[in-house]
Structure 1
Amino acid sequence: MGKSQKKKSMRRHNPVRVPDSHLPQGLASASSSSSKTQAILPIIQKMESLEASDRKWACVAVSNLIQNDPSTRRLLQGKNVVGALITRLTDSEEEVIVEAMGSLRNLCIDGGYDICAEMYNKNILTPLKTFVPKLSTTLSQYLAGDKATPENARRLVYEFADSVITTLWCLSETNNKALNAINEINLVPFLMSFLAARDKLPVGTVSSAAQCLYVLTDDNFPAILETRRDANYVSCLLDIAKLEPSRSGKEKESDDTRATMLRVLAAGILRNLAPLPPPTSASFVDIDKEIVLPLLQPVISAVDLQEAASVAQRCVAQLEAEPPKESMKHGPKSDHQSEPEAELIRLESKLRTLQLSLEILTGTCATLPDPEPDAHPTDNDDDDEDVEGDAGDEDIVDAPALSSDVDATRGVLPALVPPLLALAQPTALSFPPLAAPAAHPPTTSALGAIHVAALECLNNIFLGLATAPSAQVSGDADAGRRVWTGLWSALGAVGAEFGGLGQERRREMWDVSAGVLWGAGIVWKGALVPEEEHVRVLMQYCDAAADERTRVKCIGALECLAQCPEAIDANRVIADYLLGVLPSGNTPPRLGTEPALQAASALVDIYSDENMPYDTNFRRGAYLAKLTDSVEGMRRTVKAIDRKKEGGRDLRRRGEEVRDNLVAFIEYRRELGL
């Protein structure tokens, strides 16, 4: 499988609800595409007003204007709204500070990495650092039995804490500079205090603390070490993850969804911390087998995305039929939500919980160990010498290593694959229309992310099974055909028009699906009868793919299809295509080095058994002569690999292995005399 078996830990999901990649760049385009241009100037002016009520109004108005409206958000950014709001964090009036913090939080959520980077560069961490100890002190007073503070005042403090924590969460995903600065704040005790007092605090605020800790403990050793050190922290997380959901009919659905999210986050944090150090009893807990899988399997099976899309469409239609709300000139709109608005928020929360579950499950379904570190970083890099050691591979494309054994993944395969295939099927709202904005961008963003996450999970399952085959699974040809049909059904719904602005998720679906097709092809090799259309599409996508890794996946899938004994015509079409990927003479390979290596390896594997029915294509097509003609080109291609580049040593070794195998294969076929 080459480099397609696992990947380095990815930056976690930033809670971007409304992607804006479909919008043209620049303030002029933002101004022309926003319907609220006239409201911008009064807001910026009142942000600096002498009257506290005006400053508060302006802060609230920012949140109102940017809701599901990336054009207006960009326009506000161009007027330095971020700097103005950060200034208000040191306002003399507490209510202004609270509203400014809330608006910055919403900008983080809706704006993503770029706006978070702007906040970091404009020194938002300085006021945030002062808020953390103040919130800790206030929280301690409330938990100690302070009865003098009214409930509504407490609620404002909890909401303010939620805004601070969520902003820190988003900032920690911005870049390494921001993460290192946040590590210095020593947030773990602060965040764990919310989780420890979860029964006395709003579940939304507790969930935000858990989400922040989940992100901070993702491949971030300072936070991992600090959380591991305290046995009480680990016990608290275990208690939350193992907590049975409430069955009370009085509990609201939204609260139940947030409680589930909290449990999922606790499981994710524990997975980030694993293996848990002895001598605590928690160190004997198998996080994947005992926590993650029992919790997440029901979560991924409980949501019908087609039904979710229908609910969203119904709510959007109801909102469009409502009379327009009061104009901004009379002040910020009310916080009151209509029932359709509330239902859309509940739906988004449920979808984001599902997305997070899939992200965690993707790591659990990875079964391969991490690559060994480079043992000889100062090796001689002369191109004509073999180089020992491994530089570490940034090109790997799956997920973090699994703490359980391979059999754990194989054991849950029958239960996981059907719901994952269902979650990979697009709905009417999964992608923005090709020539118009999405009907409800937050739902579309969540649905698209879920489809990709489900495919990534399937990718790890099949690559794990390809590495450690299961005769029971590979022997179930009907299951293989159902998987194959389900994958192509999803791709058919995605469509092939994904080159425009805002259609990035469609391409991502294709890129990830190529790997899933390859993995499934290996698991059920010989049992999947290739259809002419599928072969044609894979070859076309391989030619059009933007990166070599995706081309390698497509070639791998084609290789598997070519090994169906009864598919002689398809075998010939695929072999002719693969021969065209090889280098010829002084001409470099047309699809790049890695695809050429994969194509050569594929041809050797396909025709390694001269007794297969499709071997007639090898003899009639004079493939031996064509492979012989490619040897010199392969030598040149391998020698041209730069071992000094990232991943170059590993690729060079792979290339030398493929080149030697090709030469040996040619000699073998010559000796056969067929």
Structure 2
Amino acid sequence: MGKSQKKRSMRRHNPMRVPDSHLPKGLESAAEASTKKEAILPIIQKMESPDSSERQWACVAVSNLIQNDPSTRRLLQGKNVVGSLITRLSDSEEEVWIEAAGALRNLCIDGGYDICAEMYNKNILAPLNTFVPKISSSLSQFLVSPKSIPENTRKVIYEFAENVITIFWCLSETSNKALNAINSVNLVPFLMSFLAARDKLPTATVTAAAHSLYVLTDDNWPTIDAIRSNADYVSCLLDIVRSGENPPIEKNNNDASNNRFVMLGVLCCGILGNLQPLPLPNTLSSLDVNQGLVFPLLQPVISSVSLDTVVEQVQGLVTRQESEPPEIEKLSLKHVPKSDHKSPIKLELEHLENRLRTVQLALEILTGACATLPDPVIQTTGIENDTEEIKDEDADMDDATMEDDMPLDDCSQPATGGPHSPCSVPALAQPLLMLIQPTPLSFPPSSSPSCHPPITSVLSAVHVSAFECLNNMFLSLAAHPQSPLTADDSTGRAIWGETWASLSKVGLDISPGQERKREIWEIAVGVLWAVGKIWKGKIIPDEGHVQILMNLCDSSTDPQVQVKCIGTLECLAQHPSSVDANRVISSYLLDILLTASASSKGTEPLLQAVSALIDIYSDETLPYDINFQEGKFEEGLTQSVDRVRKAVRAIDRRREPDLRLRGEDVRDNLTAFIKYRRGLQF
């Protein structure tokens, strides 16, 4: 059966800091959950005030009210705060449009894709585009004669530039329409100018520009071509990465500027990874970005953080914050609040959040770099068709071969380089296994909400990204079935155990607001399959694990998740001495082919179940083959032939040619296998 190799989507996770999926739909429910609903109307009214100070105050108040408060954000959104703020971007007073940009930036980050889509639909790009030349002009002036402009003025412009760039970045991830519109602006020279002048500009502003470039170079050829065509741009990115090859990362370092420095290096690694191969006319053109830059820089980044330590620090800071007298928010027009005013404790919490987001970003880049799979190779078992096999009117292929199969639906096409040799588990594995272990703040129960929702959001995102990276890494290793690694039983069992230890902490109770739990399970089963593939026959099946995998397969509506569950069960069934587990798994797989439950599964899971049974019982000398004989599996498989034929015939050759070929392989393998088993003498 041919391998299904599809390009893995590398879109990053929703940047929403405080997910609101757990909140009931509708403004009424948001009003009930919000403690600040009385402040909404005055803000909306003052947004249209003839007094510029009131308009400025309203913009700042939006930033203050939405912080970690999704219900109030929804109420403001219901009052068209997005449209009002976009209008304020064209305000006659500079202070107003500066604060409006800050509020919109915060809405992008705190609200995620939905609010970004609303901004795009309400034509936010029109005023944003006018700011680009203004910021460029001011930046040039600052660089030529920095002392001629007051420091406070420079700071305001730098922060404004950061806000505008961040909005561009968030909009780029919203939709293809928004991305195409931003491509037409040609932001590359504008954004690269910040990276080129990084030594003279605030790191936060430079990092925002790098973040925007990272998103815009993600499978987006207009931006990729614009950077690759300019050798100075590529050299600038290389210089930044190389200056950070040995960053001063310390586990207990609370220096926010150091974290921004690390983040900048990580982002530039990601940009170069998106650009490769590098278009340099010298020896650097053959540089393996993954081996030479990405892995050396990013492995220390993901190894530098202890999630348990971060959670302890967060809990300590929150406890201190609760013990301090509460800050009284005065919506006074006499003293316009600063949108960036934060207490020392809030700044420390933000720093911890940013450290985790740096780790998450590094994981996402490593996930792409780990997708180093070779081309599919067909492995034969020596079982061939002949004139006596059961015929199918659609059979139009050469003699079929029976192949050990794993659909590679979560990985991209082969990339250059990799984190490992085929003979050893990469050093990357250990920190990844640490990062998949949930903490008390990762998935707090709905009855006890998180003490700091942004930290909870990024922790769960780190777990998801770490699982994705493990998935690609072990799929790459599984592509080398003859590797000496397969002889190291203890390593395989340890990795298997660590993965299940994480999943047991994640749990199967997925309440509203904990949707990432489901995402983790769907990715983790791919990790389990890859590990089972590498150490096939070496992993001792656990009754509880087997039952969970079967339940997940039955409850999921995603055919790819079902395929992964079946593939994992197939590997577990091949532990030679686990005869009882083999019987349970094989009976379950045969039921998929013969009972009504098959109707709840798509064509690919059906084909995978056939392939799994053939693979499990291809060696009649194994102890568990007694299950095939006593369970009359040959009769069951013979009964399934018609169902398999019909399923293959229903696959559209033009729309799904690879799946059709794969189905024909399975169909022919099945008939050959039945003939082979009939010919055995017991």
Structure 1 residues 641, 152: closer, same or farther in 2, change over 3 A?
same
Q: Does structure 2 retain, via aligned residues, the 8 Å contact 1:217–1:269?
A: yes
Structure 1 match to 2:390: none
Q: Does structure 1 retain, via aligned residues, the 8 Å contact 2:231–2:280?
A: no
2:618 aligns with one of 580, 603, 608: 608
Instruction: Give secondary structure in 1 for the equivalent of 2:305.
Output: coil
1:417 aligns with one of 406, 429, 433: 429
Instruction: Give secondary structure in 1 for the equivalent of 2:425.
Output: helix
Structure 1 residues 386, 24: closer, same or farther in 2, change over 3 A?
farther
Structure 1 match to 2:457: 445
Matched, 1:624 2:629: no
- Aligned-residue offset at 1:639: 1.4
Matched, 1:508 2:513: no
1:667 aligns with one of 657, 672, 675: 675
Structure 2 match to 1:210: 210
Q: Does structure 2 retain, via aligned residues, the 8 Å contact 1:387–1:649?
A: no
1:527 aligns with one of 530, 538, 549: 538
Map 1:71-82 to 2 at 5 A. Answer: 71-82=71-82
Structure 1 match to 2:39: 39
Deviates more, 1:630-639 or 1:85-94: 630-639
- Aligned-residue offset at 1:8: 3.1
Matched, 1:362 2:380: no
Q: Does structure 2 retain, via aligned residues, the 8 Å contact 1:6–1:368?
A: no
Matched, 1:573 2:584: yes
Structure 1 residues 246, 559: closer, same or farther in 2, change over 3 A?
closer
Instruction: State the distance in 2 between where 1:509 and 1:185 align.
Output: 37
Map 1:60-71 to 2 at 5 A. Answer: 60-71=60-71
- Aligned-residue offset at 1:649: 2.1
- Aligned-residue offset at 1:333: 5.1
Q: Does structure 2 retain, via aligned residues, the 8 Å contact 1:556–1:602?
A: yes
Matched, 1:304 2:316: no
1:465 aligns with one of 471, 477, 486: 477
Deviates more, 1:301-310 or 1:214-223: 301-310
Instruction: State the distance in 2 between where 1:483 and 1:217 align.
Output: 34
- Aligned-residue offset at 1:29: 1.2
Matched, 1:548 2:559: yes
- Offset from partner CA, 1:19-61 (integer Å, 9 cap, x none): 1111111111111111111000000011111111111100000
- Offset from partner CA, 1:623-673 (integer Å, 9 cap, x none): 11111111111111211223454xx22222111111110110000000113
Instruction: State the distance in 2 between where 1:531 and 1:588 align.
Output: 25
Instruction: State the distance in 1 between where 2:316 and 2:605 align.
Output: 46
Q: Does structure 2 retain, via aligned residues, the 8 Å contact 1:9–1:219?
A: no
Structure 2 match to 1:265: 267
Map 1:228-243 to 2 at 5 A. Answer: 228-243=228-243
- Which runs of 5 or more structure 2 residues have no equivalent in the other structure? 377-392, 399-406
Instruction: State the distance in 1 between where 2:227 and 2:67 align.
Output: 35
Instruction: Give secondary structure in 1 for the equivalent of 2:185.
Output: coil
Map 1:98-113 to 2 at 5 A. Answer: 98-113=98-113
- Offset from partner CA, 1:125-174 (integer Å, 9 cap, x none): 00111100111111111111242210010000000000000000000111
Instruction: State the distance in 1 between where 2:477 and 2:247 align.
Output: 37
- Aligned-residue offset at 1:370: 8.4
Map 1:20-419 to 2 at 5 A. Answer: 20-244=20-244, 247=248, 253-330=255-332, 335-368=340-373, 384=394, 397-405=409-417, 408=420, 410=422, 413-419=425-431
Q: Does structure 1 retain, via aligned residues, the 8 Å contact 2:295–2:366?
A: yes
Q: Does structure 1 retain, via aligned residues, the 8 Å contact 2:592–2:598?
A: no
Structure 1 residues 343, 544: closer, same or farther in 2, change over 3 A?
same
- Offset from partner CA, 1:527-575 (integer Å, 9 cap, x none): 1111111111111111111311101101100000000011111001100
Q: Does structure 1 retain, via aligned residues, the 8 Å contact 2:17–2:458?
A: yes
Q: Does structure 1 retain, via aligned residues, the 8 Å contact 2:567–2:612?
A: yes
- Aligned-residue offset at 1:607: 0.3
Q: Which amino acid aligns with 1:109?
A: I
Instruction: State the distance in 2 between where 1:438 and 1:370 align.
Output: 45
Instruction: State the distance in 1 between where 2:375 and 2:344 align.
Output: 48
Instruction: State the distance in 2 between where 1:670 and 1:384 align.
Output: 24
Instruction: State the distance in 1 between where 2:396 and 2:202 align.
Output: 60
Q: Does structure 2 retain, via aligned residues, the 8 Å contact 1:4–1:398?
A: no
Structure 1 residues 588, 533: closer, same or farther in 2, change over 3 A?
closer
Instruction: State the distance in 2 between where 1:143 and 1:327 align.
Output: 38
- Aligned-residue offset at 1:252: 6.6
Q: Does structure 2 retain, via aligned residues, the 8 Å contact 1:583–1:596?
A: no
Instruction: State the distance in 2 between where 1:412 and 1:291 align.
Output: 21
Q: Which amino acid aligns with 2:605?
A: P
- Aligned-residue offset at 1:384: 4.5
- Aligned-residue offset at 1:408: 4.1
Q: Which amino acid aligns with 1:349?
A: N
Instruction: State the distance in 2 between where 1:198 and 1:282 align.
Output: 23
Instruction: State the distance in 1 between where 2:397 and 2:621 align.
Output: 38
Q: Does structure 2 retain, via aligned residues, the 8 Å contact 1:587–1:633?
A: no
Deviates more, 1:437-446 or 1:112-121: 437-446
Q: Does structure 1 retain, via aligned residues, the 8 Å contact 2:203–2:260?
A: yes
- Aligned-residue offset at 1:68: 0.4
Structure 1 residues 361, 617: closer, same or farther in 2, change over 3 A?
same
Structure 2 match to 1:537: 548
Instruction: State the distance in 1 between where 2:375 and 2:137 align.
Output: 42
Instruction: Give secondary structure in 1 for the equivalent of 2:426.
Output: helix
Instruction: State the distance in 2 between where 1:524 and 1:248 align.
Output: 35
Instruction: Give secondary structure in 2 for the equivalent of 1:413.
Output: coil
Structure 2 match to 1:375: none
Structure 1 residues 298, 599: closer, same or farther in 2, change over 3 A?
same
Deviates more, 1:228-237 or 1:327-336: 327-336
Q: Does structure 1 retain, via aligned residues, the 8 Å contact 2:56–2:99?
A: yes
Instruction: Give secondary structure in 2 for the equivalent of 1:235.
Output: helix
Instruction: State the distance in 1 between where 2:524 and 2:619 align.
Output: 29
Instruction: State the distance in 1 between where 2:519 and 2:642 align.
Output: 36
Q: Does structure 2 retain, via aligned residues, the 8 Å contact 1:635–1:659?
A: yes
How many corresponding residue pairs? Answer: 652
Q: Which amino acid aligns with 1:598?
A: Q
- Aligned-residue offset at 1:591: 2.2
Structure 1 residues 44, 196: closer, same or farther in 2, change over 3 A?
same
- Aligned-residue offset at 1:385: 7.8
- Which runs of 5 or more structure 1 residues have no equivalent in the other structure? 372-382, 389-394
- Aligned-residue offset at 1:438: 2.3
Structure 1 residues 502, 14: closer, same or farther in 2, change over 3 A?
closer
Instruction: State the distance in 1 between where 2:206 and 2:113 align.
Output: 23
Q: Does structure 2 retain, via aligned residues, the 8 Å contact 1:627–1:666?
A: yes
Instruction: State the distance in 2 between where 1:440 and 1:344 align.
Output: 9
Instruction: State the distance in 1 between where 2:421 and 2:268 align.
Output: 21
- Offset from partner CA, 1:350-398 (integer Å, 9 cap, x none): 0000000000001111112689xxxxxxxxxxx948699xxxxxx9632
Instruction: State the distance in 1 between where 2:475 and 2:163 align.
Output: 40
Map 1:477-488 to 2 at 5 A. Answer: 477-488=489-500
- Aligned-residue offset at 1:583: 4.2
- Offset from partner CA, 1:398-427 (integer Å, 9 cap, x none): 243453246845477331111101100000
- Offset from partner CA, 1:174-204 (integer Å, 9 cap, x none): 1111101100111001000000100000000
Structure 2 match to 1:380: none
Instruction: State the distance in 2 between where 1:30 and 1:275 align.
Output: 49
